[in-house]
């Protein structure tokens, strides 16, 4: 099965957090039957203690549970910068609450009892997003590692290059000669392993905005 081989090769994980054992068992049976790697938890607290962000994963999360609720777990993950794709499992009376979670970034919600085809489609949507997010985060970290090699003066020059300043303007800004600016530019390009200004700007602009 394609889903099985793709998921297994990537070591991707579908987390299920629900305090109803029957729901956990049902979801595990459906998902593992479609080739997904599944890890279940009976509480949000248990999940938080085990979750490692260094993996491609998504989360199927119950809205109402003992202890921390599903939406509270979502808020906690977002606040800690650990957001991952989430689909909420809801009862009929929970739909308005589930809709509010989507406004905070949840992918969707499914009502009990859930449809296998719908669930499979949602899980693949979540994993697609998780793959893209993981790839983007990895690229950003690599860019930050390169940028950290720059000296303070090189960082000052780079900031002005990004701002569109010409060499003469940068020299005036920093009280240095144009030849020194040119030397810094060459060092920056070499350290960041880029050959064009376009590539330089792309890498520099990958830095998170404070």
Q: What is the CATH number of the domain that holds 198?
A: 1.10.10.10
For 51-108, the pLDDT digits (tens) are 888 788 999 999 888 889 898 999 999 888 887 899 888 876 666 776 777 777 777 8
Tell me, yes or no, whether 109 and 179 share the same domain. no
Same-domain status, 155 and 132:
no
Name which of 55, 60, 59, 8 is nearest 34 in CA terms: 8
Domain identity same for 18 and 71: yes
Residue 144 lies in a domain: no
Does residue 60 form part of some domain? yes
Q: What is the DSSP letter of 129?
A: H
Q: For residue 210, tell me if it sits in a domain.
A: no
Q: What is the pLDDT of residues 170-202, one digit of tens each?
A: 999 999 999 999 999 999 988 888 888 888 888
| Number of domains, the chain | 2
For residue 61, the enclosing domain spans 2-138
The predicted pLDDT at position 8 comes to 40
Q: Where among 116, 138, 160 does a domain terminate?
A: 138
Give Cβ neighbours of residue 87 (< 8 Å, ≥ 6 apart).
58, 59, 60, 61, 106, 107, 108, 109, 110, 122, 123, 126
CATH number of the domain that 61 lies in? 3.40.50.2300
Summarize the confidence of residues 126-132 as an average pLDDT.
88
């Amino acid at each position: 099965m394609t889903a099985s081989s793709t998921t297994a090769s990537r070591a991707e994980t579908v987390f299920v957090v629900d305090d109803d054992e029957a729901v956990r068992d049902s979801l595990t049976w459906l998902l593992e039957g479609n080739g997904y790697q599944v890890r279940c938890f009976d509480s949000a607290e248990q999940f938080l203690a085990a979750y490692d962000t260094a993996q491609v994963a998504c989360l199927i999360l119950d809205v109402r549970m003992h202890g921390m609720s599903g939406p509270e777990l979502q808020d906690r993950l977002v606040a800690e910068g650990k957001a991952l794709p989430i689909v909420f499992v809801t009862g009929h009376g929970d739909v308005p609450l589930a809709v509010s979670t989507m406004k905070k970034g949840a992918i969707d919600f499914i009502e009990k009892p859930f449809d296998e085809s719908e669930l499979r489609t949602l899980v693949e949507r979540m994993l697609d997003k998780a793959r893209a997010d993981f790839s983007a985060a990895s690229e950003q970290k690599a860019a930050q590692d390169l940028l950290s090699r720059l000296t303070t003066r090189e960082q000052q020059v780079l900031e002005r290059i990004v701002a569109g300043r010409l060499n003469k303007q940068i020299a005036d800004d920093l009280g240095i000669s144009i030849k020194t600016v040119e030397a810094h530019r060459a060092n920056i390009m070499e350290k960041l392993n880029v050959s064009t200004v376009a590539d330089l700007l792309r890498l520099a602009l990958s830095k998170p905005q404070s």
